[in-house]
Amino acid sequence: MIKSAYIHIPFCEHICHYCDFNKVYLQGQPVDEYLSMLKKEFQMSVMEYPVESLTTIFVGGGTPTSLNEKQLSFLVSSIREELPYDRNSVEFTFEANPGDLSEGKLAILHEAGVNRLSFGVQSFNEELLRKIGRTHKIADVYDSIEKANKVGFDNISIDLIYGLPGQTMEDFEDTLKKALELKMEHYSSYSLIVEPKTVFYNLMQKGRLSLPPQEIEARMYECVMEEMAKHGYIQYEISNYAKQGYESKHNLTYWNNEEYFGFGAGAHGYVEGKRTANYGPLKKYITPLQEGRLPLIETHEVSKQEKMEEEMFLGLRKMEGVNAQSFEEKFGTPISDIFGQQLTELKEKGLLEESAGTYRLTYSGKLLGNEVFQSFIAV
């Protein structure tokens, strides 16, 4: 059953050096036409896959808040008109860059029922922000949060990245300290992954990207876990921390291996047992919709084996882990029949623990999460 929707806005006023999401420079792009076709995709998708009510909506990018006020108003009106959801119970999130949000834009979002903001802060070191291609200043972070609070937002998340080029342990500790002083409801903290087709990847290929040693990166992650716990934040997923009741319901949709719409250029979805992918280039996304077709480049029927693998490597990201009884009820097969060898080996390595039929990452397992997750994927 589909209960969530991800909506992709691919426009950016600048391109960050680490970003591998589908994005284009805003200037000169057919933004209004894109938003009209996005509305059409909402209509066609809900007609093909009827849903009673969505429980989460997440607008990401790109930079959704790079849209001007008129475009932003059109977007949220399209969502309200075409997607079924209860305004009083939905978690409705917008990604935002510090400095992009005027009080006018914030008011449009708040009045439309957006009730959660996710700011891409990444670091509190301005020199480091420039190195990674960010254009906001530290003052913009404080200003944007103050404006959001003034308008009425009381559920705000900020993203941090560690393991950045030239980043020291002391620098990251300072960033973490300043982030926690803000007393946000939610924090996400990810290690840098150098992806193909990014500025950082090209620099790495030329030997011009100086990253912190692996042991320092691991210590940064340990520092996040320790400081978040000290400040009363619950680590509910390997990279996410929240005050009680402020966990991201939308992201839990992914980690619970549940179905969701993926709207927009380059967006991925999971509907009626099929993984879907939309065309990324704007023209290739827009043309099918103009012709009355969904802009799908790929549809993959997920096999039972793949679903079980996904259940493990997504579910083990959560600190609550994977329950053997729930697994058997969902798939009609004991978890030990499918993954008994992997579970035994990971427990012997000290990466997994099992209690009352539930498997969870150990402390060491969190540090070596990718090794754990990859063990459940068939070669």
Q: How many CB atoms lie within 10 A of CB 169?
A: 14
Rounded mean pLDDT of 87-116?
95
Give residue 25's pLDDT: 86
Whether 342 shows a pLDDT value over 60: the answer reads yes
Contacts of 120 (CB under 8 A, 6+ apart): 95, 96, 97, 98, 134, 158, 159
Q: What is the mean pLDDT of the chain?
A: 96
pLDDT recorded at residue 201 = 84
Mean pLDDT value across residues 91-106: 94
pLDDT of 329 above 80: yes
Distances, alpha carbon 251 to alpha carbons 91, 184, 248, 263, in Å: 11, 18, 5, 16
User: Which residues are registered as beta bridge partners of 277?
Assistant: 268, 298
Helix residue spans in the chain (DSSP H): 31-48, 69-82, 103-111, 126-131, 138-151, 169-181, 199-205, 214-230, 249-255, 282-290, 304-315, 324-331, 335-348, 363-367, 369-374
Q: Which residues of 66-77 are buried (b: 16+ CB within 10 A; e: fewer)?
A: bbeeebbbbbbe
pTM listed for this prediction: 0.96
The mean per-residue pLDDT over the stretch 331-358 comes to 97
Average pLDDT over residues 297-322: 97
- Sequence length of the chain is 379
Average pLDDT over residues 191-215: 90
Residues of the chain above pLDDT 70, percent: 100
For residue 379, pLDDT over 80 is answered with no
CB-based contact 172:223 (threshold 8 Å):
yes
pLDDT at 378 over 80: no
pLDDT band for position 19 (cuts 50, 70, 90): confident
pLDDT at 284 over 90: yes
**Residue 132 phi, psi dihedral angles, 5° rounding:** -95, 5
> What's the CATH superfamily of 2-255?
Aldolase class I (3.20.20.70)
CA–CA dist 305, 287 (Å, integer): 35
**For residue 237, what are its two tokens?**
């997923």
Find the mean pLDDT for residues 10-34.
Answer: 89
Q: Is residue 13 pLDDT above 60, yes or no?
A: yes
pLDDT level of residue 200 (50, 70, 90 thresholds)? confident
Q: 318-374 architecture in CATH?
A: Orthogonal Bundle (1.10)
Sign of the dihedral through C-alpha 291, 296, 297, 303: negative
Domain edges within the chain: 2-255, 318-374
Proportion of the chain above pLDDT 90, given as a percent:
89
pLDDT tens, residue by residue, 204-231: 899 898 899 999 999 999 999 999 999 9
Q: Is 117 left (phi over 0), alpha (psi -120 to 50) or beta?
A: beta
Q: Would you state the structure tokens that stand for residue 211, as one six-digit string?
A: 């990253």
pLDDT score for 295: 98
Helices (H), 231-334: 249-255, 282-290, 304-315, 324-331
Q: Given a cut of 90, is residue 68 above it in pLDDT? A: yes
Instruction: Tell me what pLDDT residue 21 has.
Output: 83
Of 185, 101, 94, 171, the C-alpha closest to 136 is 101
For strand 186-191 and strand 156-162, is the pairing parallel, antiparallel, or unpaired? parallel
What residues have CB less than 8 Å from 323, skipping those under 6 apart?
357, 358, 359
What is the three-state SS of 54-87? ECEEEEEECCHHHCCHHHHHHHHHHHHHHCCECC
Instruction: State residue 15's pLDDT score.
Output: 80
What pLDDT, on a 0 to 100 scale, did the predictor assign at position 119?
97
Task: For residue 95, count other CB atoms closer than 10 A to its CB.
Answer: 20
Q: Give the pLDDT score at 350.
A: 98
Q: Mean per-residue pLDDT for 249-258?
A: 97
Is 333's pLDDT higher than 60? yes
Say if residue 369's pLDDT is above 70.
yes
